[in-house]
Amino acid sequence: MEQVKIRNFTSGDRDWLVDQHGTLYAQGEGFDDSFGALVAEILDAFLSGHDPAREAGWIAEEDGHRLGSIFCVKLTETTAKLRLFLLVPQARGRGLGKQLLRTCMDFAKGNGYTDMQLWTHESHAAACGLYRSAGWQMVSSKPVHSFGQDLVEQSWIYRF
C-alpha cells in the first residue's frame, strides 16, 4: 500500500469534493442540498480567483484515492481562514487530520499571516478536539438553523 500523500488541490478535484461534502454531511448530520451548493460556491470562487502566493488547497490521497481536503484562504492581510476540512470515514483515526491541519497552518504562518480563523459546528467533535489540541481557541458559539438542521455554530482562532 502506498503512503498517504498530500498534494495541491486542482480543478479536477472540485466535483469529488462537492460530492463528498454533500453526501457525508447528508448521511452524518442530515444536512440538506444547500450545503453541497455552498461548497460548490466556495470552490468555484477559489478556482476563479485565489492568490496562489497566499491561498492554497490540499488533497490527501492514497493509492489514487482521495481521502480528504483542507484549504487556507485570505480573510484579511494578516488573517487566514481555514476552510473545507474533510476526511472520508475510512481515513479517520490515522493521524491524517492532524497532518492536513499542520500543512494548512504551516502554509499560513509561512506566508505572513499572524492568525487564522475557522467556522464549524459543535457536532464535529473530532475536528473540534483536533483544533483544541493544536492550540486553537473557540471564541464564539451560538445556536443556528442551517442546512435544514438545528446546529450550534462555532468560531475558532489561532494566533501564531
Which is nearest to 10 in space by CA: 53, 38, 39, 52?
52
Homologous superfamily, domain 5-159:
Gcn5-related N-acetyltransferase (GNAT) (3.40.630.30)
Coil vs helix vs strand at 32: coil
Please give the torsion angle defined by the CA atoms of residues 52, 53, 57 and 58, in that order, rounded to the nearest 10 degrees: 110
83-123, pLDDT tens digit by residue?
999 999 999 888 999 999 999 999 999 999 999 999 988 87
Average pLDDT, the chain: 92
Instruction: Report the 10 Å Cβ neighbour count for 1.
Output: 5
Contact between residue 82 and residue 45 where contact means Cβ atoms under 8 Å apart: no
Segment 13-66, tens digit of pLDDT = 999 999 999 999 888 888 888 889 999 999 999 999 999 999 999 999 999 999
% of residues, the chain, pLDDT over 90: 74
H or E, element range at 14:
helix 14-29
Q: What are phi and psi of 34, to 5 degrees?
A: -65, -25
Indicate the domain borders of the chain.
Answer: 5-159
